Amino acid sequence: MRAEEPASLQKFRGSVQLSVTAALVAPRKDSGLTWDPGSAPALPQEMWQPLSKNIVKRIVRTLIDNAAGVITAQILTKVLPWAIEAFAQGAVAPDVIVTLYVDGNPMLVTQKVNNTYFPTWSARTRPLVLTEQSVIDVSAVDFDLLTQHDHIGRCTSEIGIPSVDSFGYMSADTFRCYGQLWAVAVRVLPAAQEN
């Protein structure tokens, strides 16, 4: 894994684009049931409680380090060894769509990624300017064609202009996540930058 040095963090001012590149969804709903109808048994309660801040930091680092590739349950075994069995049972993983909001306004809706706890995307917002009062929200749903979509959870940043690493990813301390959306990887790029 890349080490994230606090001294390497910077803030982009002016016009930027945001991109949600990856997320980690809990293996079950907060009720302990599977995301989509299936026969997998419910998990014990301790496996779907909120994660510690240290674990979330390690998960975000894993998401960022693997955002260009496919994230699998095996990659996360070093971070969440207890969850590998839960993810392995997940033949009924969610169909994930996320919406990124800035100051309550929807700026990006991702394409649906089917049957995964580790969705990845590459879409960007239109150019926008963040302020010291900006609030960034990432909200995720499990898309269901025939029934109401299940709300997975959300991650919120209320720190205004976020600190980013040398690759443009928001630092692991940026977001507070709620519900069964355990972590997100969000990139901030100067609007003029192409890659």
Q: What is the mean pLDDT of residues 150-155?
A: 93
* Each residue's pLDDT tens digit, 123-141: 999 999 999 999 999 999 9
- pLDDT at position 118 is 86
How far apart are alpha carbons 85 and 83 in whole angstroms? 5
Least confident range from 20-34, 35-49, 175-189: namely 35-49
Q: Are 109 and 125 in contact (CB under 8 A)?
A: no
- What predicted TM-score, i.e. pTM, was given to this entire model? 0.75
Q: Assess if residue 83 is contained within a domain.
A: yes
Q: Assess if residue 9 is contained within a domain.
A: no
CATH of the domain at 149: 2.60.40.150
Number of independent structural domains in the chain = 1
Alpha-helical regions (H) of the chain? 53-65, 73-76, 84-88
Q: Assess if residue 3 is contained within a domain.
A: no
**182 band by pLDDT with thresholds 50, 70 and 90:** confident
Q: Assess if residue 52 is contained within a domain.
A: yes
Task: Report which of 92, 95, 72 is spatially closest to residue 84, judged by C-alpha positions.
Answer: 72
Q: Which domain holds residue 144?
A: 17-190
Q: Assess if residue 195 is contained within a domain.
A: no
Half-sphere exposure of 194 (CA within 13 A, CB side): 0
**109 band by pLDDT with thresholds 50, 70 and 90:** very high
pLDDT over threshold 80, residue 51? no
Q: Assess if residue 163 is contained within a domain.
A: yes
Which comes out higher in pLDDT, residue 47 or 113?
113
Q: Assess if residue 147 is contained within a domain.
A: yes
How far apart are alpha carbons 57 and 118 in whole angstroms? 16
Q: What is the mean pLDDT of residues 7-23?
A: 87
